[in-house]
Amino acid sequence: MPHVRNKLTALAVKSINSVGKHADGNGLFLQVTANPKTRELRKSWLVRFTPLNGKVRETGVGSVDLVTLAQAREKTLEIRKNAKSGADVVVAKAEVRQEAVRQRAASMTFAQCAEAYIKAHESSWKNDKHKTQWTNTIKMYANPVLGKVAVQDINVSMIMKVLDPIWQTKTETASRLRGRLENILDWARVREYRTGENPARWRGHLEKALPARNKAKTVKHYAALPIDEYPAFMSKLREQTGVGPLAFQFAILTAARTSEAIAARWDEIDFNDKSWTVPAERMKAGRVHRVPLSTAAMAVLKAVRGLDPVYVFPGLKCGKPISNMAFLMTLRRMKRDDLTAHGFRSTFRDWAAERTDFQNEVAEAALAHVISNQAEAAYRRGDLFEKRRALMEAWAVFGMS
């Protein structure tokens, strides 16, 4: 019995609304699908054919909005005719897609991918410093070797050429750079700019070629001021002039991180409650941190009040806070290159442990450290604010002694 052809009509194509495949004959089907959320119907043409290898294939030939019934029938005849001569339209489409991927990969350099990655992710980073670190390490260490190379062509030897010169001497930077290279190359693979394994992957890969970070070089902790030298240092710091030294005092008196202090805003300060609330997006732990302000910290705020309507410590550029280099420059002017701003958090922690009777958890809360013990964290609901207020006042008084 001969196959029935041309079962459908143009009117039927418009009126059929039942989900499924509706045969026209000769391997052509009207395929009706429904959006799972909106239940909106979509109609398209599907051709079923059997190439010389005997494996039944299906391929779409367009939406009914773009391809008429007559055109779909013509495409069906062409596909079936080519199939008899050995051509496989599905394989041909796949080859076209693969070639398009190859062309995209060949046109994208590592530098272009790195720039696109940073632009795509910078909105999720907590501060501008993070973007600056990404941009600078890629520009300084990676781009001289990889910048102009097609991202598809990057291999392990190229990655090693970037990392080898700094792995022993700048281990922390090299380790972070490796992670950034891995992220960029993973992004490029997802975007189909490259295929294959990630040559910057550490686990089960580069860990076999490079010494572990803790074995490559002893970790150098932030330089901290000895407890007994702290009062004299604060006395000299108070002698410095300008917004930078005042911001530095505020950071030390509140045991805050540099990024938290320099970006402080007036709408975060409560003068009545004598507190400073740092929003979650600026905190390392990603949660709101309320800071009790000592008498000395309040004096700093009064000294800068009125300089800017938004930022507590405004920079030279309008609408911007001071630079994250301000504290470093202050230390240089004081001829204390042996110290770091972050190290004063360690000085504070040592002082609280060795010179006071405050509980360990009070000092940890003042530093906004995350409780590593999950069971303890679950039971400790409060922020020990009033106890921290007494601790920070004692810290300020010690700096005046």
Domains of the chain, earliest start first = 10-104 (3.30.160.390), 108-216 (1.10.150.130), 227-400 (1.10.443.10)
User: pLDDT band at 222, cuts 50/70/90?
Assistant: low
CB of 262 closer than 8 Å to CB of 250: no
User: pLDDT band at 91, cuts 50/70/90?
Assistant: low
pLDDT of amino acid 305: 94
pLDDT exceeds 70 at position 215? no
Residue count (the chain): 401
Mean pLDDT over residues 248-272, rounded? Answer: 95
Alpha-carbon dihedral 33, 36, 37, 39, rounded to 10 degrees: 40
pLDDT of amino acid 376: 42
The whole-angstrom separation of Cα 16 and Cα 64 is 12
pLDDT of amino acid 7: 87
User: pLDDT band at 381, cuts 50/70/90?
Assistant: very low
The whole-angstrom separation of Cα 49 and Cα 46 is 10
Largest separation between any pair of C-alpha atoms in the chain: 107
Provide the mean pLDDT of the chain. Answer: 85
The whole-angstrom separation of Cα 264 and Cα 200 is 37
pTM for this one?
A: 0.51
User: pLDDT band at 50, cuts 50/70/90?
Assistant: confident
pLDDT of amino acid 371: 52
Which span out of 196-205, 328-337, 381-390 was modeled with the highest average pLDDT? 328-337
More confident residue, 278 or 105: 278
Phi and psi at 45, nearest 5°, equal -100, 140
Tell me which long-range contacts 236-240 makes (C-beta under 8 A, separation of at least 24).
Answer: 236/334, 237/330, 237/334, 240/330, 240/333, 240/334
User: pLDDT band at 395, cuts 50/70/90?
Assistant: very high
CB of 11 closer than 8 Å to CB of 69: no
CB of 230 closer than 8 Å to CB of 351: yes
